[in-house]
Structure 1
Amino acid sequence: MTGEAALPGLSGFPADLSEHARVMQRVHEAVLSGARPPVRPRDVVERSWSRMLDMGLDTSGVQRTVVSLPEVELRRRRSGLEPVIDDLRRMLRHAAETSPFLVVVTDADGVILWRDGSARVRAYADALGFTEGARWTEATVGTNAVGTALVEAAPVQLLAAEHFEPAQHRWYCCAAPVHSPVTGELAGVVDISGPALTLHPAIGALVETSVRLAESGLWRLHEQRLERLRRSAEPVLGGTAEPLLVVDDDGWVAVRSGIAVGARVPVPREGLPMAVAGLGLCTPERLGEGWLLRPERDRTPMVAELDLTGDPVVRVHGGDGSWSAALTRRQGQVLALIADAGPGGLDAAALGRALFGDDGHVVTARAEVSRLRRVVGDLVAPAPYRLSDGVTLTVTRPR
């Protein structure tokens, strides 16, 4: 898929959207016919189109899949977004009802859970199959901002014939993933879509603001749960002078008593001793909505292995206890880079260059480490990013 030059990047759409749409139409036709396109599409579009061609997706035969309304309700509860959806919709609803665009929130599988917009735009979306319950992934409807953002794990904005399916060429869409700030897991996607030539530069900022609002709301609820856990732990804390931790079910520390430890430790499991960086072996005891951790007096070193031979997994041993955690491929890549960096570690700029090959991803690199530490806890130390003191990690890579 080569041509004379690349089209502008995500934030660099030309002022003349109609001309850009016409150029992309010629590019789309050339690529699908196997001819040389007049210009290269943007990198994110080129990658997605290549995936579509590899899958053998037929632009004329895209099949919509829609889940039942009871399943939509179940997915709403399971997404973790339901507690913040009212705030999110309140912020966006007025703009959606008075502007020619549609606001959509999906789950991590790309299934549309909530939708707001004017009657005219909703009718247009209905004809396109862009409805509640519809699965809007690349595999089902081709290149689109929701599905492509899920694959790229990054914000995506598409205009006109950058979409793979011709039925979507009269549409623009701008989407960004929402992650749980507590677990680091993908919760869903926020998308704003509308008629192609009505795209405004502020749409991307509106989507990013929506994501920040959702994630900050989830974090606020998390802090409220920690505060409840602190109150429930007060009788226990008042009756002992020994070092201990009180953490929630995700390993977030609510109370530190006589112990210097980070904001999160590995997830406790009933009856299983666990190793905490800098502490060694601890014994978890159920305490209300969380856990009480009593460190052993002998702090043994932690030995960890990052296994990249299949789906990434990290295994940690300390004293007589051990734990393991599955990682995403990006998390495995980040942890391997940190391990390879040695005691000096990496700052966000260096990590961004290692991950993306340029200096433009410092914020993304910080977010990747934040999500990794939500899984592995204090195994990784912040600023600079390095293995914590007392941790030895080996990386097993595919041959």
Structure 2
Amino acid sequence: MPAWSAVAPGTDLSTHARVLSRVHDAVLAGGRPPVRPRRVVERSWSRVLGLGMDPDRPRPRDPLPAEAVQARRRTSGLEAVVDELRQVLVGVAEASHGLVVVTDADGVVLWRDGSAATRRHADRLGFAEGATWTEAAVGTNAIGTALAEAAPVQLFSAEHFEAAQHPWYCSAAPVHSPVTGELLGVVDVSGPALTLHPAIGALVETSVRLAENGLWRRHEQHLDRLRRAAGPVLGTARGPLLLVDDDGWVAARSGVAAGARVAVPRAGRPLAVAGLGLCTPERLGEGWLLRPAEARAPVSAELDLTAAPVLRVRGGEGSWSAGLTRRQAQVLALVAAAGPAGLDAAALGRALFGDDGHVVAARAEVSRLRRVVGDLVAPAPYRLAGGVALTVTGGGA
């Protein structure tokens, strides 16, 4: 039984539902409950009450039109594995008069399967495809609370905020992309409260693991295709290099002991890679070729202070420019002037603020600069990356 289960094995569900009803009424009336709600429920009720929601007056459900649902399905990262989720969950849900629901990261219901009778009950509740089941939309519920808590959630009966949802249980778990780590959506099994089985939560967890494994298999197939397509180039290239996908996952390596992933490449932006140094990503089919900048051409940069600061960079196969704030330009100029030895945070803080009390602020300034210029500036100590030459024109920073 998962640690997040709402009901322990052997619990009399009818009795527990009656206790939770008294807890719900007491807490929302500002009284003393017979037992304290579970912490996950307590936190959710607090959030929902802060939104001014009324448990007896559900907010309107305004489901998206069918064409909007279809559009969200097509762009959902879960579309590729929704059939696998159905295979695991739908049979069990139908046998137990339940529903299997898959939402996107916004809590919008994209797919719904299960018992016909339970689907009709769900329709009356507004628990339909296209509906949004976040806490802000429908109060405490497993889907919305799983999104808010970034964790699996199971709710039973009156643990739901809205009174209309008290006849239900729901078990939901987030699904994340194993490639990017981003939240893709939520898998949920819901049904009549008194039919809750202790194994439901474990089944939902299993389905999420299978979905994420399926997404990873598809990613590995994508890397295989990338390797095959780039074969002729890789076979004739000289020197160390990496072939990576759009998310920085390494599809092929030559002459460098790189890990499984590097930073996300961006066109024309220098990228520091362990074992390669500074690289300028080159687009190669659906991937990127990373080679040391010194193997092709140095990176030249101009910090133009004639008007609003602008950084212009040329190197490798292309060029790019970016506007900087005056502070960012000042930091970049100081780092460049320090030479290969660079500056630590204390030295940079003294140069920027005139004393030793701004180490944290100096680190924050460099972090903001690196969000714009990327790996042109190397960390700890702060210095221009190898192979980068910077000139300053138009005045002082």
TM-score normalized by the length of structure 2: 0.74
Task: Name the structure 1 match of 2:380.
Answer: 392
User: How far does residue 314 in structure 1 lie from its aligned partner after superposition?
Assistant: 5.9
1:322 matched to 2:310:
no
1:31 matched to 2:19:
no
- Number of aligned residue pairs: 316
Q: Are the counterparts in 1 of residues 6 and 156 from structure 2 also a CA contact under 8 Å?
A: no
Unaligned runs of 5+ in 2: 299-339, 346-359, 383-397
Q: Are the counterparts in 2 of residues 24 and 161 from structure 1 also a CA contact under 8 Å?
A: yes
1:228 matched to 2:249:
no
Task: Name the structure 1 match of 2:53.
Answer: 57
Match of 2:252 among 245, 252, 255: 255
For residues 76 and 69 of structure 1, the distance between their equivalents in structure 2, rounded to whole angstroms, comes to: 11
**Matched residue SS, 2:144:** helix
Change (3 A) 1:393 1:91: farther
Task: Name the structure 2 match of 1:380.
Answer: none
Match of 2:13 among 17, 20, 35: 17
Match of 1:154 among 148, 151, 155: 151
Task: Name the structure 2 match of 1:179.
Answer: 176
User: How far does residue 10 in structure 1 lie from its aligned partner after superposition?
Assistant: 3.0
User: How far does residue 104 in structure 1 lie from its aligned partner after superposition?
Assistant: 0.3
For residues 158 and 146 of structure 2, the distance between their equivalents in structure 1, rounded to whole angstroms, comes to: 17
Match of 2:291 among 277, 289, 294: 294
Change (3 A) 1:168 1:303: farther
1:132 matched to 2:129:
yes
Provide, for residues 240-274 of structure 1, a one-character-per-residue CA deviation record: whole Å limited to 9, x for no partner: 23000000011111011111111111111111212
User: How far does residue 87 in structure 1 lie from its aligned partner after superposition?
Assistant: 1.8
Task: Name the structure 2 match of 1:115.
Answer: 112
Match of 1:283 among 271, 280, 285: 280
Aligned AA (1:178): V
Aligned AA (1:177): P
User: How far does residue 96 in structure 1 lie from its aligned partner after superposition?
Assistant: 2.4
**Matched residue SS, 2:243:** strand
Provide, for residues 102-142 of structure 1, a one-character-per-residue CA deviation record: whole Å limited to 9, x for no partner: 00000000000001111111111111111111100000100
For residues 303 and 11 of structure 1, the distance between their equivalents in structure 2, rounded to whole angstroms, comes to: 52
**Matched residue SS, 1:187:** strand
Match of 1:211 among 187, 208, 213: 208
Q: Are the counterparts in 2 of residues 284 and 293 from structure 1 also a CA contact under 8 Å?
A: yes
Match of 2:84 among 87, 110, 118: 87
Identity within the alignment, %: 67
**Matched residue SS, 2:281:** strand
For residues 290 and 204 of structure 2, the distance between their equivalents in structure 1, rounded to whole angstroms, comes to: 40
User: How far does residue 93 in structure 1 lie from its aligned partner after superposition?
Assistant: 2.3
User: How far does residue 280 in structure 1 lie from its aligned partner after superposition?
Assistant: 2.8
Q: Are the counterparts in 2 of residues 275 and 317 from structure 1 also a CA contact under 8 Å?
A: no
Max Rg structure: 2
Q: Are the counterparts in 2 of residues 302 and 317 from structure 1 also a CA contact under 8 Å?
A: no
Task: Name the structure 2 match of 1:99.
Answer: 96
Moved over 4 A (4+): 297-305, 313-318
For residues 25 and 240 of structure 2, the distance between their equivalents in structure 1, rounded to whole angstroms, comes to: 68
Q: CA RMSD in A?
A: 3.0
Q: Are the counterparts in 2 of residues 105 and 112 from structure 1 also a CA contact under 8 Å?
A: yes
Change (3 A) 1:12 1:85: closer
Change (3 A) 1:195 1:166: same
User: How far does residue 178 in structure 1 lie from its aligned partner after superposition?
Assistant: 0.3
User: How far does residue 62 in structure 1 lie from its aligned partner after superposition?
Assistant: 2.0
For residues 51 and 194 of structure 1, the distance between their equivalents in structure 2, rounded to whole angstroms, comes to: 24
**Matched residue SS, 1:59:** coil
Change (3 A) 1:68 1:161: same
Q: Are the counterparts in 2 of residues 156 and 176 from structure 1 also a CA contact under 8 Å?
A: yes
For residues 94 and 138 of structure 1, the distance between their equivalents in structure 2, rounded to whole angstroms, comes to: 28
Change (3 A) 1:56 1:301: farther
Unaligned runs of 5+ in 1: 1-7, 325-389, 395-399
1:48 matched to 2:44:
yes
1:274 matched to 2:271:
yes
